[in-house]
Structure 1
């Protein structure tokens, strides 16, 4: 923490949600990162298009790791943003470039994860927020600031958990790298025989599309010269 937060005089009363050790979670990430490696990139605190919703910023420089509770959730959160249902078939086409150099990994929690719940309306109200915190694509600047407010008033929180926008009612979550000194900074073990090592391969697209089929979505094949 930089000492800049908290910036609100509102008293937050975060609702805590505990994931037990041994819980399996899924992650879509660039192959340059190890499956359990936190993304060190910080977002611009004043630019909503830079980074993801709850990324750390230079004002509160924590590293993030985003996860889903199922393979479909992790994929949907990664590739279905702003994808419309297209005429005439009513399906969502995901450009091949979206999965280029990306992988779907499975991880297992090494310790209990104490997370701030944003799952229900009452959970959001507990931190003086509404669903726009999770759903407005233009409010990333505000969402990052509010994540820092929550961190400042819930020092025991290791991350946030909420209902996936793209695969309701399943759960998405984000972990904060600086809250895991009690487990040597490594809250996750990699499950090496699961997942999809190359989402941009023919076999990877086939498997990913089976997960996405119930959501009427599919990853496009690369163009052949």
Structure 2
């Protein structure tokens, strides 16, 4: 709860916070794309897509975390069931993917959707922790929040499987191929390399997860 549509009037209710210049962010993505690449694809239905993707293509988007641990939690672990036994991540899920570090080079304003800021909009942790079956509804909420806070270009929330880490969904104009406020910082880590696999394996252990059979 509450898995309900957003109210007709959210004006003045979303709380906005800055994502300051110099902030360090992390992202797992396909090695065929730039670290600051954005996705312009409209996602009006499920299955497919992520929690706060654009329903209509009115914005391009990317997801980043405040640490490598957040990036793993939000990409490799986000849909794993919590069963009390070690959760298995297919090794194929890291094939061709990289971990990139980014730096914020322009100020960004985002809507905070965690803690008491959820109550301010009449929501609870369902918005950021619900299963993929609810993603059309969570995307509807994202659209309504941006309409109510037009100065915002993203959402800030706690990772679904790690309350200690934060994630952002950042938006930009749908014609942009990269996010203008983000810049790659240093070399990316190839996740299917020995170094990358060891790094991911170590982080997966934090989440009671491990790699399944080899690729």
Q: TM-score, normalised by structure 1?
A: 0.83
Higher mean C-alpha displacement, 170-179 vs 6-15: 6-15
1:212 Cα deviation from its structure 2 partner: 2.5
Relative contact order: is structure 1 or structure 2 higher (C-alpha 8 Å, sep ≥ 6)? 2
Judged with a 3 Å threshold, the aligned counterparts in structure 2 of structure 1 residues 84 and 127 are, in CA distance, closer, same or farther, namely closer
CA contact (8 A) 1:116 1:159 kept: yes
After superposition, residues 1-225 of structure 1 pair within 5 angstroms as 8-43=8-43, 45=44, 47-58=45-56, 60-84=57-81, 90-120=85-115, 122-137=116-131, 138-178=133-173, 186-193=180-187, 195-196=188-189, 198-220=190-212, 222-223=214-215
Judged with a 3 Å threshold, the aligned counterparts in structure 2 of structure 1 residues 113 and 9 are, in CA distance, closer, same or farther, namely closer
Superposed CA offset, 1:54-85 (max 9, x none): 00122x52111100001011011101133246
1:8 Cα deviation from its structure 2 partner: 1.8
Separation (CA, whole Å) in 2 of partners of 1:174 and 1:203: 27
Superposed CA offset, 1:135-154 (max 9, x none): 21121111111111111111
Q: TM-score, normalised by structure 2?
A: 0.86
Structure 1: gaps of 5 or more residues? 1-5
SS of corresponding position for 2:74: helix
Cα root mean square deviation, aligned: 2.4
CA contact (8 A) 1:107 1:191 kept: yes
Structure 2: gaps of 5 or more residues? 1-5
1:219 Cα deviation from its structure 2 partner: 2.8
